Structure 1
Amino acid sequence: MGASSIAVAEAREQAKALDREDPLAFTRAEFNVPTTAQIASTRLAEDSATPENDDDNKSVYLCGNSLGLQPKRTGTRINQYLRTWATQGVQGHFKPLADSPLPTWLDADAKAAELIAPIVGASESEVAVMQTLTTNLHLLMSAFYHPDINGRHKIILESRAFPSDHFAVESQLRHHGLSPETSMITVQSPFSQDNVLSTYDIMSVISTNAADTALILLPGIQYYTGQLLDIPVITAFAHKHGIFVIWDLAHAVGNVPLSLHAWDVDAAAWCTYKYLNGGPGCIGGLFVHERNSLVTKAITDPHPEEGYTNRLAGWWGNDKSTRFAMANKFHPVGGAAGFQLSNPSVLDITSLSASLEVFQLAGGVKELRKKSLKLTGFLEELLNGMSEEDRAIFRIITPSDPDQRGAQLSILLEEGLLGGVMTELEKRSVIVDERKPDVIRVAPAPLYNTFEECVAFVEAFSEALAAARKTKV
């Protein structure tokens, strides 16, 4: 494709036709897509909003796997929150306002849980919007990882897990006086040079270590390769061996349909700034299956602390009916909300909920997935159709099977090209992200990306490869 202007023109016409037929095309207008001038600028723009119907001057933003774009309604909702704070002060915790769409601050987390439950396939009581991803992983492990040095003590994770997952597992092991050298098992593929893991690879490691494994921590989608793991099959296999499974859904939530309750997932955690568009460093989320979050005794029972799974406790996890009684006696609300610690940031929740409203407009993740499959498949087709000269210096390491990936395609470049390619793409206002030493990750998000942008990316990518080759030589 890189060598033929005719091929580029034909691809662009095909993309325009696909965009015209797209039933979700309207959701793009819900987002602030940076212009080429804004991307190039080194100054803070006075107004972040971009002109309507001005796609010719907008950047090509394919980085939703790292940070989602800002929904236009985010500013509106945050301003409503700020006005509430300015005019009501502390009353904002309890006082509903007739002309405001926002819940009271006391109920903001419950409203966000209601919005996010269908995105992860859970009941409202099984999810909580709280803390951050790694914090939530630690909270879950503190509640459900109970090592026995003479029995089950191992934790299984993938060999190339996101570093913070490694850090969390290693520190949990040391917290219990264990060594990662003897209690941490990593899964790697004996066959794939890119460590794309088959379900068999994972199940084989589980089988080998079943007798002394207490916990498994795996990603729903692997951040580097973009591979979607078979969550229900792996979960069921782990349960056959009596092993508790926690899923890191950072790259899966809002990207692919999830059915955490129906899949019998034990627990999961996620961030909200990628495909959920909550904003940089926004509040995280947590799922705990209802069987693992039961509260079976009333606070008036002689030993109420025996009526629930012990966990690191905090004020906001306390039952709302007694929370403001200020008694020094913790009794959690039933469900995932009972794992909360401090009162959550209402500013963060307001930002996240603004984006979740757009998910509702789109009809949910299942509808988005239909478009995503077409969008990512189209991008893959364009990349595979590039010139032989281009194809000789890159390859896609994400599985080609659409059922084994989300929106992201990871492109492995010939050694030494990454810096030059990223520089050239940025010059052309094309935003993707890099994972050193040699991978760029490209993620067309169905809420705001278009088929025509896929063509624009591939055209810019071919030009970037040519420029980077010259620089390298």
Structure 2
Amino acid sequence: MVHQFETQLSYAQALDEQDELKHFRERFHIPQADNGEPAIYMCGNSLGLQPKSAAAAVAHELEQWAQMGVEGHFRGETPWFTYHKAFAEPLAKVVGAKPDEVVAMNVLTVNLHLMLVSFYRPTATRYKIITEAGAFPSDQYALESQVRFHGFDPDAAIVELKPRAGEHTLRTEDILQTIAENADSLALVMMGGINYYTGQVFNMQKITAKAHEVGAVAGFDLAHAAGNVTLALHDWDVDFAVWCSYKYMNAGPGGVSGVFVHERHAENTDLPRFAGWWGHSEKERFQMKKGFKPMYGAAGWQLSNAPVLHMAPYKASLAIFEEAGMSRLTAKSRLLTGYLAFLLGQIEHIKIEIITPEDPAQRGCQLSMIVENGRQVFDYLVSNGVIGDWREPNVIRLSPVPLYNRFEDVYRIYEILTRFKQ
């Protein structure tokens, strides 16, 4: 459905009035701008806002600790011994998986390394990794170090996908062609589900299918995708995925990561892994015996017991996702982001080039834009209460998040930019 957007405040307010998700905004703390007014927060792509329920969730676990001490592992509403299990159902719904295929544990890059231990298994002839050029630095460093660990030169082993001359984003056909061209030497395709810089959503289903066709493994970093776009990891046949929880998942800075491992790998004893006792068979864990016996599914990749106090805000946020539902969130997201793109297109006195794909199927909340006098414009937005972010060398990122952003927020950005003077 094509919406005929308008450039009046009353139009934005009418959209807010009709929004069936509008009440969720009240579930979050909105930061204040320097003028004392609520900020126009457009930085969920970097750090999501704090759910008001997060403090109570942490306080509850602190109280459990105070009242029961070590017995909190086995008593209470959500015993710590099985705390991670409370995340399986809601996380599975967010990423399109089966509950046994997901687990909350560790932090993002730690989990990426653990997955690479299992799924990057190079040989003398099949050793290459395909990834997007300009991937998030942590992913680049992880891939480089894993390649070196196996004795290969990153310059030879890592194939970087670059846009065509004059373009900012990758074409799916070029990604698939690169996979085909490296068919005999390719071990792994490992990309971001969404490129952090451009905001492009990659066609993970087609990429996975092509990787499997040539005998390679497919994995994705979903840091900017989980809680943002519709995912169907199980049905897409993805081998593994990792994501953080502090962006669109609103679990707080450095929040506990998530992992997906497809069920066909659940009992694959040929896969190497770095093991820890929390991934060991739950029935035998406290027998303290030698000999690692992994739990079924993604849980078998756990290392240590859950950091409960850090996971409590994640649990609180997932309860909100359960109530809102990803289908409703993504529908509102498309409308919000489309409205922002429309309004930016109405500004004539500032040269703005949106480099995020125009196709709603290839973007989530985030719009990345190259702006004339970009740093000056960004600082002007900040001085007027807009919290977005700046990415070197010349990109402003704004992300209207459906859980807590309003159409009026989007309109206010347009209104502020119309007052900007070079």
**Alignment TM-score > 0.5, same fold:** yes
Q: Is 2:3 the counterpart of 1:13?
A: no
Aligned position for 2:411: 455
1:383 alignment partner, one of 336, 344, 365? 344
Q: 1:32 aligns to what SS in structure 2?
A: coil
* Aligned pairs for 1:353-392 within 5 A: 353-362=315-324, 364-386=325-347, 388-390=348-350
Q: Is the 8 A contact 1:430 1:460 kept in 2?
A: no
Give the whole-Å Cα distance in 1 for the aligned partners of 2:418 and 2:136. Answer: 29
2:215 match: secondary structure = coil
> Partners in 2 of 1:72 and 1:332 — Cα distance?
37
Name the structure 1 match of 2:203: 230
Q: Structure 1 counterpart of 2:342, which letter?
A: E
Instruction: Pick the aligned partner of 1:313 from 270, 275, 280.
Output: 275
* CA drift at 1:112: 1.3
Counterpart for residue 24 of structure 2: 27
Say which one has the larger Rg: 1
After superposition, give the CA deviation of every residue in 1:250-273 in whole Å (9 maximum; x if it has no partner): 100000111110111110000000
Which residue, out of 112, 132, 139, partners 1:158? Answer: 132
Residue of structure 1 in register with 2:293 after alignment: 331
1:171 corresponds in structure 2 to 145
Query: Corresponding residue for 1:205?
Result: 178
Shift of 1:40: 6.1
Q: Which amino acid aligns with 1:78?
A: V
Asked if structure 2 preserves the Cα contact closer than 8 Å seen for 1:293 and 1:308, the reply is: no
Is residue 406 of structure 1 aligned with residue 367 of structure 2?
Answer: no
Q: Does 1:190 align with 2:146?
A: no
The alpha carbon displacement at 1:309 in A equals: 2.4
Q: Name the residue aligned to 2:70.
A: 90
Unaligned runs of 5+ in 2: none
- Do structure 1's residue 181 and structure 2's residue 155 form an aligned pair? yes
CA contact (8 A) 2:188 2:211 kept: no
Contact 1:115–1:353, Cα closer than 8 Å, also in 2: no
TM-score, length-scaled by structure 2 = 0.96
The one-letter code sitting in structure 2 at the alignment partner of 1:349 is M
- Structure 1: tracts of 5 or more residues without a match: 1-7, 42-56, 97-101, 296-306
Identity of aligned residues (%): 44
Cα distance in 2 between the residues matched to 1:208 and 1:314: 38
Superposition deviation, residue 111 in structure 1: 0.6
Q: Which amino acid aligns with 1:62?
A: M
Cα deviation, residue 430, structure 1: 0.8
Give the match for residue 126 of structure 1: 101
Deviation at 1:10, TM superposition (A): 5.0
Contact 2:371/2:377 (CA < 8 Å) preserved in 1? no
Q: Tell me if structure 2 keeps the 8 A contact 1:257–1:365.
A: yes
Could you tell me which residue of structure 2 aligns to residue 271 of structure 1? 244
Cα distance between partner residues in 2 of 1:103 and 1:369: 30
Quick one: structure 1 residues 444 and 108, their matched pair in 2 at CA, closer, same or farther if it must change by over 3 Å?
same
> Is the Cα–Cα contact under 8 Å of residues 250 and 269 in structure 1 kept in the other structure?
yes
How many residues in Structure 1 have an aligned counterpart in Structure 2? 418
Compared CA separation, residues 291 and 9, structure 1 to 2 (3 A): closer
Q: Secondary structure of 2:283's partner?
A: helix
Shift in Å, 1:292: 1.1
CA contact (8 A) 1:112 1:349 kept: no
Distance 1:192 1:210 in 2: 27
